[in-house]
Chain A
Amino acid sequence: MSRAVRFAPLALLVLIIAALVWRLATPADTNVHSTLEGKPVPVFSLAPILPDKPGLDSSDLATGQPHLLNIFASWCVPCVTEVKVLETLKGHGVRVEGIAVRDRAADLADFLAQNGDPYERIGSDPQSQVQISLGSSGVPESFVVDGKGVIRYQQIGAIDAADVPMILSRLEQAR
């Protein structure tokens, strides 16, 4: 048996151990990252859904100040708890904009009356077209958009109370 053959298992082992050490040191990131992060918000123009609340244009997001764009619906159960967290964020001076997906005016008015209304504007997206163009696959989802209208972060699922500092610092970075 030649020297190379005898030591081959050992060499192979060193290689495998090295790969495993690397993996232990840099654990896999199981989060889904939006490919739209770093890209401008797609152009859209959504009509208002409530008489007393303006609709939402993509240009409303590029005002020089960061925005939190929230995709929600009155029929979405997690949105009920999330909207209270959004109120807290509003208390910190965050501008929250809403896109109501496949919603009805009367239901939405009830939802806001019961759970609180943190939104500056709410655009109606009856066919989910804008939602899809944003790469969002469900409700609720939120985007941190900087003053130039560029998406900086996508949150999949509800923002809960524990996420508040993270969202605030993302908005601060987007300033």
Chain B
Amino acid sequence: MIAEAGLAALWLAAALAALQFVLMLVALRSGADVRRAMRSIAVVQGVLTLIAFAALLTVFALSDMSVALVFENSNSAKPFIYKVAGAWGNHEGSMLMWVTILAIAGAFVALLAHRTSERTTVAALGAQAVLALGFYAFLLIASNPFARLWPAPPDGQGLNPLLQDPGLAFHPPTLYLGYVGLSVAFSFAVGALLTGEVDSRLARAMRPWVLGAWVLLTLGITAGSYWAYYELGWGGYWFWDPVENASLMPWLAATALLHSINVLAARGALKAWTMMLAVIAFSMSMVGTFLVRSGILTSVHAFAIDPERGTFLLALLAIYVGAAFALFAIRAPALKEGAPFELVSREAGLVINNLLLSVILGIVFVGTLYPLFVEAVSGEKISVGAPYFDAVAGPLALLLALLVGIGPLLAWRRERRPVLKRLKVPALLGISMLAITIVAWPGMHILPRLGLTVAAYLAAASIVPLIGRNPLRAPLATWGMVVAHFGIAVALVGMAANAAFTSETLAVAQPGEILNVGPWSVQLAGVTPTAGKNWTAIEAELRASDGPRLVTLNPESRYYPDPPTETNESAIRTFWNGQLYTVVGKQDPSGAWQLRLWWKPFVTLIWAGGALIAIGGALALLGRLWRLVWRRRTPAQGWRRERYA
């Protein structure tokens, strides 16, 4: 009954989306005022999808095995939180979550869009409805989450134990919220291209969505990276796996969009480019979803491979992105570029930022899809891995980080002051760091060495925009920018330190034996069997000491009977200057245990930096929303108000 109610709500929502689209066509043709009708439709559609999603959560929470999806992905022995999280730990459930978030975002656009003209708002809502309609069709035709099984089986088939982790509960929803935020930017761009009203008002309406999406994507990628780091037990934080790249590409596009949209908001320039980026950012989310869900590329993320679903998603991708690109090709000549700017100006700085980000995006995109093209053309099988990405994207990312220090100091339109003078101290710090690394670690690889250099410079340079003014009176958006740029420096230190200073020990040890890793000596005190609710494990007791500090770590090697899977639960201890990372493996015939130990100096800074970048974005978003709420009645008066953007 609950499942059927959910399905009915989904059908109704789909019908409303179709109606919303038709209304847009009518309104654009006849000029009729349909905004109020559209607003109600969008809101009711959001509520209906919420009902459908609540129905799915309920059948998972109740372990209703007569629902095929619950049977396939849950088990009554699972902890309650993972039963509920199991609702979106699978294809159908995650797609339902996706349309739910999409529809709710549509409702908020309808309620909050006061900045754009009525025509553009209606066109954007229509575009959002078409997007939703495609995904409703996908759910209802190709992946019904509410399909029943008769007779109901006694118990379910469990869930991949790798996914029995709090990370699962938050990682996909965070990324989806990010993707959906980009879909709103996409709809605004399509709407504005339809009406021809690409202006700073549009940019201000889009900006909170882009900022919000970008914050969530940043958090999602950071959390996903940490999850892979501690759950997979490989000790790495980024593997250039296709599924990771699938989340990185929209982030890169969104980062570029985030910066170019400020130019459009403040100066009315870069119109065509910003619209293109808005389309590309969402396209990259769709490409990502397609790559992940179709199983077209080989990846460590094992999702079910289903050609029918792949075809469906690809058709949606082709229709939406194709239509948007075609619309762009037709409408771009009509866009009049805004105020001109000189070679040394904030605008030019942001153009360079966009170019670098786009090239990095291109590198990741090509690297991810290149094996596919090579096989299509020559039949040869190749794989593209970390050496390519590190070597090609790494130097560009460092160059970008170098320029991040300069861009915010430039004035709009033209810069006549000697800006580089303000960067004396940061430059000095960078050069000192370079000298220190050359003297202290002459054998260090070039990328980590430059990484530390740029990080030292950027950590100081990112704060310069707050110097020479009262920091408390600086707008929140400026604070956000400073925090985010500082976060880049922090993450860079973590990555470089991890690359340069990690020590690893892989050995078999008899109980009582002592191993060394970095400054630590680690004793295998003993190994004992243990058990959880749905797993059994052996647990090692490791006593680690580096002189003053003495800690005990308990890594586990777990066995889940249903489905039969072995996982390594690493034990990680965090200190101010790094992490001790330990994994226990199998026992060899002589009774010794495989142990893998890492000492990773300052590795936590990678995720701390990611979090700072997201916090910076959130501060900027708060600043923008604050203005939106308090100054709604007085529409912004041009670029002067946007000086600190």
Bound: A16/B318 CA distance, A: 10
Bound: A17/B328 CA distance, A: 18
Check if B332 sits within 8 Å of A1, measured CB to CB: yes
Check if B307 sits within 8 Å of A17, measured CB to CB: no
Q: Which residues between 28 and 50 of chain B lie within 8 Å of chain A, taking CB atoms?
A: none
Check if A17 sits within 8 Å of B298, measured CB to CB: no
Check if A28 sits within 8 Å of B329, measured CB to CB: no
- Contact for A24 among B276, B310, B326, B369, CB less than 8 A: B310
A27 within 8 A of B: yes
Render A8-33 as a binary contact track against B, CB cut-off 8 A, 1 for contact: 01100110110111111001101000
B501 within 8 A of A: no
Q: Determine, out of B157-165, B178-186, B352-360, B370-378, the stretch whose residues face the partner at the interface.
A: B370-378
- Contact for B329 among A6, A17, A20, CB less than 8 A: A6
Check if A28 sits within 8 Å of B333, measured CB to CB: no
B577 within 8 A of A: no
Bound: A141/B373 CA distance, A: 33
Which residues of the other chain, B, contact A7 by a CB distance below 8 angstroms? 329
Bound: A21/B318 CA distance, A: 10
Bound: A13/B286 CA distance, A: 13
Which residues of the other chain, A, contact B328 by a CB distance below 8 angstroms? 6, 9
Bound: A6/B330 CA distance, A: 8
Q: Could you say which of A13, A20, A23 has the most chain B C-beta atoms within 10 Å of its C-beta?
A: A20
Check if A6 sits within 8 Å of B332, measured CB to CB: yes
Which residues of the other chain, A, contact B276 by a CB distance below 8 angstroms? 9
A73 → chain B closest CB, angstroms: 16
Which residues of the other chain, A, contact B329 by a CB distance below 8 angstroms? 6-7, 9-10
Which residues of the other chain, A, contact B376 by a CB distance below 8 angstroms? 19, 22-23
B478 → chain A closest CB, angstroms: 33
Bound: A28/B381 CA distance, A: 9
Number of A-B residue pairs, CB cutoff 8 Å, is 53
Check if A24 sits within 8 Å of B307, measured CB to CB: yes
**Nearest residue in A to B323 (C-beta to C-beta)?**
A10
**Nearest residue in B to A3 (C-beta to C-beta)?**
B329
B314 within 8 A of A: yes
Q: Which residues between 293 and 339 of chain B lie within 8 Å of chain A, taking CB atoms?
A: 294, 296, 298, 305, 307, 310-311, 314, 317-318, 321-322, 325-326, 328-329, 332-333
- Contact for B272 among A1, A14, A30, CB less than 8 A: A1
> Which range holds the interface residue count of chain A?
10 to 19
**Nearest residue in B to A11 (C-beta to C-beta)?**
B325
Which residues of the other chain, A, contact B280 by a CB distance below 8 angstroms? 9
Check if B333 sits within 8 Å of A6, measured CB to CB: yes
Render A54-89 as a binary contact track against B, CB cut-off 8 A, 1 for contact: 000000000000000000000000000000000000
Which residues of the other chain, B, contact A21 by a CB distance below 8 angstroms? 314
Check if B375 sits within 8 Å of A28, measured CB to CB: yes
Check if B321 sits within 8 Å of A20, measured CB to CB: no
Bound: A14/B325 CA distance, A: 11
Which residues of the other chain, A, contact B310 by a CB distance below 8 angstroms? 24
Bound: A16/B332 CA distance, A: 22
Which residues of the other chain, A, contact B317 by a CB distance below 8 angstroms? 17
B60 within 8 A of A: no
Bound: A10/B283 CA distance, A: 12
Check if B326 sits within 8 Å of A10, measured CB to CB: yes
Bound: A22/B280 CA distance, A: 23
Bound: A53/B626 CA distance, A: 88
A18 → chain B closest CB, angstroms: 8
**Nearest residue in B to A15 (C-beta to C-beta)?**
B373
Which residues of the other chain, B, contact A22 by a CB distance below 8 angstroms? 376
- Contact for B296 among A1, A13, A23, A30, CB less than 8 A: A23
Bound: A6/B272 CA distance, A: 10
B290 within 8 A of A: yes
Bound: A17/B310 CA distance, A: 12
Check if B296 sits within 8 Å of A24, measured CB to CB: yes
Q: Which residues between 175 and 229 of chain B lie within 8 Å of chain A, taking CB atoms?
A: none
Which residues of the other chain, B, contact A19 by a CB distance below 8 angstroms? 369, 372-373, 376
Which residues of the other chain, A, contact B332 by a CB distance below 8 angstroms? 1, 6
Bound: A149/B276 CA distance, A: 62
The 7 listed contacts between A and B (C-beta, < 8 Å) are: A7-B329, A9-B276, A9-B325, A10-B329, A17-B322, A23-B376, A24-B314
With A6-B332, A14-B322, A24-B311 already in contact, 12 other A-B pairs whose C-beta atoms are closer than 8 Å: A1-B272, A1-B332, A9-B276, A10-B322, A10-B326, A13-B321, A19-B376, A20-B290, A23-B296, A23-B376, A24-B294, A24-B314
Report which A residues bind B (CB closer than 8 A): 1, 6-7, 9-10, 13-14, 16-17, 19-24, 27-28, 30
Report which B residues bind A (CB closer than 8 A): 272, 276, 280, 290, 294, 296, 298, 305, 307, 310-311, 314, 317-318, 321-322, 325-326, 328-329, 332-333, 369, 372-373, 375-376, 381
User: Which 9 A-B pairs rank lowest in CB-CB distance, beginning with the nearest?
Assistant: A10-B325, A6-B329, A9-B325, A7-B329, A17-B318, A24-B310, A6-B332, A23-B296, A22-B376
